[in-house]
Each structure stands twice: as structure tokens, then as C-alpha cells.
A = this chain, B = another copy of it.
Amino acid sequence: MKPTREVLLKAHLKAMHLHGFQGMRTDKVIQSLEITKGAFYHYFPDKLSLGYAIVDELLKPQYLNIWKKVEQHPQGVKEGLLEVLAYFSQSVCTNDERASLGCPLNNLIQEMAPLDEGFHNRLQFIVAEERRMLRQALQKGIQSGRLSAHLEADDVALFILASVQGAFAIAKALKSKGAFDQAIGVLVNWVSQMK
């Protein structure tokens, strides 16, 4: 038997991935788990707190771990970056669902950032951290002489994050794993030739 709280978190994350936070119905999720409302409200004071917990305990560690790899790659920034992009590509392309449901983090940003400060602060923090890690990795590349000193690390970091998010968005619109790969492919080329 898995701990109920964890089961609730994961099941709601899945539901949120499809319906969004507002569209997700705690009633339905609870029903599907064959648990009752009492259990839910024993662990979470309300729906909003559950949403925050999903971000804090599931999304945040997952996304920060992915991008951390860029900075920590033994061979260098470019290699680390290409590995992360390959990971995304593979994660989307082994799974039909991911192509049509998109990136959970991106979905939540688009839906909730303008509606709720609590969500916005949490999501902004994650994106800002990704940006910081990517920027520092690029700066390390510049210092080691592998990348040109003319490269604007902060701008490039932001652009790469945007392009990945965008690739998810486009793949979702076209419901096409191939489209994700095409867009990421161009980014990979660009990164490979980056100086």
C-alpha cells in the first residue's frame, strides 16, 4: 500500500495535466482512486493547497533536476545541453500522450500564472532557476574558452528555454511527436554550431 498523500498528489497531477488546474475535479479523481473526500481534506486544507503541493513536491524537483544536468555535464555546456534536449525529445517521442498533453509546467504557467499569486510565485521561481542554471553553465563555457566571449549568456539561456517550451506548445497544437523533433532538431543544430 502506497501512502495516501502521495497517491493523491500523483493522481491529481495526472488529472491536471489533461484538464488544467481549474478543470480538474477533485471529486472525480478521488472517486477513481476509491478513496473518499475525508481522506483528501485530511491531507489538504483545500484544492489550492493541493495545487501548490503538486508544484512544490513534484514539478519543481523534477524540472530543476533536468536542467541541473547541463551545468554538471563532465564534457561541457554544449554536450550537457544536447543531452537534455535529447532527453526531452525521447520523453515526448516514446509517449504519444506527452505530445498531445504538452509540458505540465508550461500548461500550468499558461493557465494559472495570471490568476493566482501563489502559483505565479512558484512557477516563476522554477523558470528563474532554470534560467540561472543555464546561464551559469554558458558562462562556465565562456570562461573555459569553449564559447565566445561575445555570447550573451543570459539572452541565450532565455532563448533556449523559450524554444523548448515553444516546441512543446507547437507539438501539442499539431498533436505531432514529429513536429517536436523537427523544432528541437533546429535548436540542436544551432546549439552545436554555437560559438
Chain A interface residues (CB < 8 Å from chain B) = 18-20, 22-23, 100-102, 106-107, 109-111, 113-115, 120, 123-124, 127-128, 152, 154-156, 158-159, 161-167, 169-170, 172-175, 179, 182-183, 185-187, 190
Contacts and interface: CB of A to CB of B under 8 A. Distances in A.
Nearest to A17: B114
Given A101-B114, A174-B127, A159 B163 contact: yes
Contact of A23 (B115, B172, B174, B175): B115
A18 B162 contact: no
Contacts of A113: 100, 172-173, 175
A154 B182 contact: yes
A173 B124 contact: yes
Nearest to A100: B114
A107 B102 CA distance: 12
Contacts of A100: 113-114
* 10 nearest A-B pairs in the assembled complex, by CB-CB distance: A166-B166, A162-B166, A159-B186, A165-B166, A162-B183, A127-B173, A110-B110, A109-B173, A165-B169, A162-B170
Contact of A182 (B19, B155, B174, B182): B155
A187 B172 contact: no
A101 B167 CA distance: 19
B166 A18 contact: no
Given A158-B170, A162-B166, A162-B183, 18 more contacts: A102-B114, A106-B169, A111-B111, A124-B173, A127-B174, A154-B182, A155-B183, A155-B185, A158-B186, A159-B163, A159-B182, A161-B166, A162-B163, A163-B166, A164-B166, A165-B169, A166-B167, A166-B169
